[in-house]
């Protein structure tokens, strides 16, 4: 069967600036269907909500049958070979065993074509009828492929029946059609085999159904995977801080951005899953919605194609406040073939003579609803450590309205430093080094403190 599913999941969706989160890579492999005969039951939803999607489902199911037919004996000869069989169960208000476990491709396709949409959605009866098709005495591997486009609206709870099937060695794949908006993704995860992330697939539209069923059928017919090599490289905004021992194989840290996970074999004799969890830390440079991995590569001797996805995490580095406006730009146009141009720029305030020192200040853990008074005193130091005043800036930082305390960064606080005030001792140089000290004071303005007897 090869690699039947692969996922990459984060344990959080949002982190603070410099925060840490866990990434889990998971994949599942199953044995070759030729050397390991398999009984497969397609459980197909034909409830009323499937009226528009049923033609696409029929095409997808028949393609699935053709792929299994060819994989089991090397040709599409109309018979499932090598001891494997397929059965069809369809469901709405109740479930029907449209076929037993059989090898006739024509009979299977006829059962699929005969389905009509209508009624409610009874997942429990669907699982019950599907489980009844399996022979407990058979040594064949047992697989259910549950397809549905909606939530349970009839019958009993499906979870106990799905759990019973899994306890009897049945592998359950759960495929959901999200196009109608009613799919219960958590229910699919509860029904599917573990790890559920490796046995659940969501088709976003009717057009994707055929591709989902085709990928599943081709994975079922591949052998398990051997000599697996996975390399994960995180974006420059992150670094890998630690790696937990994987459930299968070994993992090593190549550098702070890259790890390598190797597995000798997976799913060669039976269905088998593997998972690796590692910790990643934000480096404080970037913020916003960030993709975690720069790249992730997979290779094995069987040529399996694996897609782990590209999850993102929201990095909250606090709020930015710009207390001083930058000067308004003046646009000037020079026509072609013009030697010179005279332009009246209007009245300009000469506030940027000499060099400009621009400071950014981050106020830590500013609580919501409280303004902050901020003062910055700048002094210049000469060669003998004497200090000379170069300016004082005071400003009010507006209160933020977030639900918890957060960092607030005050950006672009500017001090103009005329060249004639240079005390570095090398005033003839145009770009000489100058040394400064900034004294920064901040406190809340808004407080519930009041002195005894104070009159407001």
Per-residue HEC secondary structure of the chain comes to CEEEEEEEEECCCEEECCCEEEEEEEEEEECCCCCCCEEEEEEEECCHHHCCCHHHHHHHHHHHHHHHHHHHHCCCCCECCCCCEEEEEEECCCEEECCCCECEHHHHHHHHHCCCCCCCCCHHHHHHHHHHHCCCCCCCEEEEEEEECCCCCCCCCCHHHHHHHHHCCEEEEEEEECCCCCCCHHHHHHHCCCCHHHCEEEECCHHHHHHHHHHHHHHHCCCCEEEEEEEEEECCCEEEEEECCCCCCEEEEEECCEEEEEEEEECCCCCEEEEEEEEEEECCCCCEEEECEEEEEEECCCCCCCCCCCCEEEEECCEEECCCCCCCCCCCCCCCCCCCCCCCCCCCCCCCCCEEEEEEEEEEEECCCCCEEEEEEEEEECCCCCEEEEEEEEEEECCCCCCCCEEEEEEEEEEEECHHHCCCCCCCCCCCCCEEEEEEEEEECCCCCCCCCCCC
Is the bond leading into 195 cis (omega within 30 degrees of zero)? yes
The verdict on residue 50 lying in a domain is yes
Q: Are β-strands 272-282 and 20-30 bridged in parallel, bridged antiparallel, or unpaired?
A: antiparallel
Predicted pLDDT of residue 73: 80
Predicted pLDDT of residue 440: 94
At 258, which CATH number?
Answer: 2.60.40.740
Do 195 and 251 fall within a single domain?
no
The verdict on residue 452 lying in a domain is no
The verdict on residue 456 lying in a domain is no
Residue 342 and residue 344: Cα distance in Å, rounded? 7
For Cα atoms 315, 316, 318, give the angle at the middle one, nearest 5 degrees.
Answer: 150
Of 244, 206, 216, residue with least CA distance to 58: 206
The verdict on residue 453 lying in a domain is no
At 182, which CATH number?
Answer: 3.40.50.410
Residue 28 and residue 340: Cα distance in Å, rounded? 73
Tokens read off for 176? 């959901």
Do 78 and 105 fall within a single domain?
yes
Predicted pLDDT of residue 292: 93
Look at the chain and report how many structural domains it folds into. Answer: 3
Do 310 and 325 fall within a single domain?
no
Do 299 and 344 fall within a single domain?
no
Domain range for 282 is 2-30+224-316
Do 205 and 71 fall within a single domain?
yes
Do 189 and 275 fall within a single domain?
no
The verdict on residue 124 lying in a domain is yes
Query: Mind listing the pLDDT tens digit of every residue in the chain (456 residues)?
Result: 578 888 899 999 999 888 999 999 999 887 777 778 999 999 999 999 999 999 999 999 999 999 999 888 878 899 999 899 999 999 999 999 999 999 999 999 999 999 999 999 999 999 999 999 999 999 999 999 999 998 999 999 999 999 999 999 999 999 999 866 678 999 999 999 987 777 899 988 888 899 999 888 877 776 678 999 999 999 999 999 999 999 999 999 999 999 999 999 888 766 788 999 999 999 876 888 899 999 999 999 888 889 898 899 998 877 667 777 766 777 777 777 777 777 776 776 655 457 889 999 999 888 888 899 999 999 999 988 899 999 999 999 998 887 788 888 898 899 988 888 888 877 666 677 889 999 999 999 887 666 666 555
Among the candidates 189, 220, 251, a domain finishes at: 220
Among the candidates 204, 220, 236, a domain finishes at: 220
Do 148 and 7 fall within a single domain?
no
Predicted pLDDT of residue 320: 67
Predicted pLDDT of residue 176: 94
Contact yes or no for 135/167 (Cβ under 8 A): no
Do 115 and 258 fall within a single domain?
no
The verdict on residue 405 lying in a domain is yes
Do 354 and 303 fall within a single domain?
no
The verdict on residue 359 lying in a domain is yes
The verdict on residue 450 lying in a domain is no
Of 88, 68, 92, residue with least CA distance to 133: 88
The residue assigned the tokens 């090397």 is: 74
Among the candidates 300, 316, 332, a domain finishes at: 316
Do 326 and 404 fall within a single domain?
yes
Predicted pLDDT of residue 352: 47
Do 216 and 228 fall within a single domain?
no
Residue 268 and residue 270: Cα distance in Å, rounded? 6
Predicted pLDDT of residue 451: 64
Do 84 and 194 fall within a single domain?
yes
CA-atom Rg of the chain in angstroms: 33
Of 55, 7, 100, residue with least CA distance to 293: 7
At 356, which CATH number?
Answer: 2.60.40
């Amino acid at each position: 069967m090869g690699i039947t599913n692969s996922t990459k999941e984060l344990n959080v969706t949002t982190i603070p600036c410099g925060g840490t989160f866990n990434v889990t890579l998971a994949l599942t492999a199953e044995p070759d269907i030729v050397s390991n005969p398999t009984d497969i039951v397609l459980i197909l939803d034909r409830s009323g909500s499937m009226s528009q999607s049923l033609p696409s489902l029929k095409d997808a199911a028949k393609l699935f049958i053709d792929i299994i037919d060819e994989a089991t004996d090397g040709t599409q000869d109309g018979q499932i070979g090598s001891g494997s069989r397929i059965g069809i169960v369809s469901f709405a208000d109740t479930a029907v065993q449209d076929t037993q476990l059989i090898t006739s491709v024509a009979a299977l396709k006829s059962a699929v074509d005969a389905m009509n949409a209508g009624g409610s959605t009874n997942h429990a009866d669907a699982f019950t009828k599907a489980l009844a098709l399996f022979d407990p005495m058979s040594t064949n591997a047992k697989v259910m492929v549950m397809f549905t486009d909606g939530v349970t609206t009839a019958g009993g709870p499906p979870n106990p029946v799905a759990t019973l099937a899994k306890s009897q060695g049945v592998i359950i794949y759960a495929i959901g059609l999200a196009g109608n908006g009613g799919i219960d993704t958590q229910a699919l995860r509860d029904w599917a085999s573990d790890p559920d992330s490796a046995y659940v697939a969501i088709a976003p539209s009717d057009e994707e159904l055929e591709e989902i069923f085709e990928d599943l059928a081709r994975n079922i017919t591949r052998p398990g995977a051997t000599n697996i090599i996975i390399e994960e490289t995180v974006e420059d905004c992150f670094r890998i801080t630690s790696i937990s021992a994987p459930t299968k194989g070994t993992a090593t840290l190549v550098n702070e951005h890259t790890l390598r996970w190797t597995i000798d074999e997976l799913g060669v004799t039976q269905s088998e899953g593997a998972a690796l969890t590692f910790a990643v830390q934000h480096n404080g440079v970037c913020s916003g919605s960030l993709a975690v991995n720069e790249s992730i590569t997979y290779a094995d001797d069987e040529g399996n194609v694996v897609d782990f996805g590209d999850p993102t995490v929201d990095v909250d580095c606090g709020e930015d406040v710009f207390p001083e406006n930058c000067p308004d730009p003046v646009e000037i146009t020079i026509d072609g073939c013009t030697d010179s141009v005279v332009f009246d720029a209007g009245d300009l305030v000469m506030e940027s003579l000499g060099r400009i020192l621009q400071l950014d200040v981050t106020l830590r853990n500013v609580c919501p609803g409280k303004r902050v008074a901020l003062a910055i005193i700048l002094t210049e130091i000469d060669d003998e450590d004497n200090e000379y005043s170069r300016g004082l800036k005071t400003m009010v930082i507006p209160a933020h309205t977030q639900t918890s305390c957060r960092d607030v960064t005050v950006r672009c606080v500017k001090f103009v430093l005329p060249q004639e005030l240079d005390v570095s001792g090398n005033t003839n140089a145009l770009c000489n080094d100058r040394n400064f000290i900034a004294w920064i004071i901040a406190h809340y303005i808004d407080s519930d403190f009041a002195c005894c007897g104070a009159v407001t």
